[in-house]
Amino acid sequence: MAFLEHTFEVGLRDTGRSNHLSNKAFLAYMEDIGGIHSEIAGYGMNEIQNTHLSWILLSWKVKIFKRPLYGETIKVKTWARGIEKFYTYRDFEIYNQSNELVAIATSKWVLVHTLTGKLMHITEEILSKYTPETKTVFPDNHFGKLKEPSTYLNSDSFTILRSQIDINNHMHNLYYLDLAYEVLPEDIYQNAELNHIEIMYKKEITLHDTVTCHYSYENEKHVITIKSKDDTILHAIIQLS
């Protein structure tokens, strides 16, 4: 199955201000349909105990044009793309119930052996199960490497809870966006739509880790850097605008 489509109804937990779909919900819907595609291909969550292979997300790039409202039915479309070294890519389109394109996204993934923790080569045999396409949602077809800012405007620390841990015993990728929002200036948090999202995941965060989130504003972008408590380990960089 090359292109996969799935419909979702926007629920209360998926909305933010003015009952519009939140950024976290956009990511969650895309994560869900990606998981469905992997189950169909035979490399999903339910197959990990047999394959000992798990997909790990490295990057997001998202552009939102319009936000669906609570109660709307939306359509999410996804497809896999090609292999580049150890990496593969998955793109997305989201449509509202009027069939308007409301968001596009691309994501970058690696395949990890769950018993050894080592990166695995994504073979043509594995990729063929997803029937990859050449279509890309972004013309440049590329992730710019997010750079850590030289200075910070404010910082805050957080200890990771059980409720934030996923099947891989890491903090789930959606919670990185939650942490980023915690250090945004109040006026930005309350009033800015932040329709462009880029996330680069670098090092997993585990239960009871204490992380420090540093906020910066550079080149008209809000940049949140998540690091270890002692600032020696870079966990992620989130860029919002």
Q: What is the DSSP letter of 17?
A: G
pLDDT above 90 coverage of the chain, percent? 90
Q: What is the mean pLDDT of residues 197-205?
A: 98
Least confident of 29-33, 45-49, 182-186: 45-49
Quick one: average pLDDT of 17-22? 92
Q: Widest CA span of the chain, in angstroms?
A: 50
> pLDDT tens digits for 45-90?
999 999 999 999 999 999 999 999 999 999 999 999 988 888 999 9
pLDDT class of 145 with cuts at 50, 70, 90? confident
Averaged pLDDT of the chain = 95
pLDDT at site 54:
92
Residue 211 binned pLDDT confidence (cut-offs 50, 70, 90): very high
Domains 4-128 and 154-240 share a fold: yes
| Percentage, residues of the chain above pLDDT 70 | 100
The H-assigned helical ranges of 129-238 are 174-182, 186-191
Going by pLDDT thresholds of 50, 70 and 90, the confidence category of residue 1 is low
- Please choose, from the candidates 74, 78, 75, the residue with its C-alpha nearest in 3D space to the C-alpha of residue 34: 78
Mean pLDDT of 105-126: 94
Q: Could you write out the DSSP letters of every residue in 142-197? A: -PPPP---S--SEEEEEE--GGGB-TTSSB-THHHHHHHHHTS-HHHHHH----EE
Average pLDDT over residues 215-221: 97
4-128 classified as CATH 3.20.20.70: no
In CATH terms, is domain 154-240 a member of 3.30.420.40? no
pLDDT score at 144: 80
CB 109 within 8 A of CB 53: no
Does residue 141 have a pLDDT over 90? Answer: no
**Total-model pTM:** 0.96
Listed by start position, the domains of the chain span 4-128, 154-240
Q: What is the pLDDT of residue 16?
A: 86
